[in-house]
Copies of this chain bind each other. A is one copy, B any other.
C-alpha cells in the first residue's frame, strides 16, 4: 500500500488507475486497502471544478477544448464523471473515449468514466475518493462532470471548489427550466455555442442569465460581480480563456479570504459524516443482519407483525 501511495504521488498513471480500481471495489479486503491508501496520500490540492450540463449542450466538446487549453498551458487535468445513468446504459466509457479523443491521448490529461454503480450515493462516495487520488497524483485541475439528473448536481457541487453550469442558447421560456437551486449553486454560467448563427441567441441568453443571477441574493463566499454568466464556443474555442480567467480570479479571492479553506473543511466534515452513515447502513447487508431483515420483512408483508414492532426487534438484534 505504501508502495502504491508512493508511485501515485510520483505521478505514475498506472498507479493512479490501479488505485481508482481499488477504491471502486466493494470487496471488504479491497476496501480496507483503499482506506489505508487514502490515509497515506500526500496533502496536495488541485482546483476542483464541478461541471454540469445536460446532453446536447456540447459538454464533451467543451471539456475537450477547455482541457486542451489547460494542458497547453502546462497544467495537468483529470476528468471524472458522476453519471447515475451510466451504470444502466453502460455507454459512458465508450462515449468518453470517442467524444474526447484528443484529450484522452494527451499525456497531461487523465479521463475516468463514472463508476458503474446504479446508486447515486455510491457513485458520489467513490468519486470523492477518486478526486483525492487525482490530487495526490499531482493533477492541477480536476474536472468533475455530471449530467443534470436528480441530485447529481448537488453532489458534484458538494465535492467541488467551483461549480460551473454549461447551458445552451435558449429562449426565455427555457430559461425558466433551470431550477433556482441549481442557479444558486453555480459560480459561473457558461452559455455554449456562441458561434455562427447561434451567436446572437447565445449572447441574449447570457444577458438573460446575468439578469437572473443579479436577482439572487449576493453570497458571502463571492466577490463583487459573481456569480457571472459568459458566452463560450466549445467548437471554435472562443471565450474559454476568459472563462478560465474568471475561475482563477474567483479561486484566488476565495483563497485570500479564507473561503476556500473553510469550504474544503466543511466538505470534508460532511463527507466524513456521510461515510459513517453509509457504513452503518451497510451493516444491514451483512450476515446475520441481512437474513434477519429478510425474515422479519416477510413476516411484516404477511401481516403477522406490525412494521414498527418488527423494526424495534431488528434494532435490538443489531445492538
Contacts and interface: CB of A to CB of B under 8 A. Distances in A.
Interface of A: 34-35, 38-39, 41, 43, 128-129, 173, 265-266, 268-269, 271-273, 275-277, 279-281, 283-284, 293, 296-298, 300-303, 306-312, 314-315, 318
Contacts of A38: 306, 308-309
Contacts of A297: 269, 272-273
B39 A300 contact: no
A47 to B, nearest CB: 18
A312 B277 CA distance: 11
Contact of A269 (B41, B280, B300): B300
Residue of A43, A129, A268, A283 ringed by the most chain B CB atoms within 10 A: A268
A209 to B, nearest CB: 21
B173 A300 contact: no
Given A280-B281, A303-B265, A311 B272 contact: yes
A35 B275 contact: no
A155 to B, nearest CB: 15
A-B interface, 10 closest residue pairs, ranked by CB to CB distance from nearest: A275-B311, A272-B307, A39-B309, A265-B301, A271-B307, A269-B301, A272-B300, A279-B315, A38-B308, A39-B306
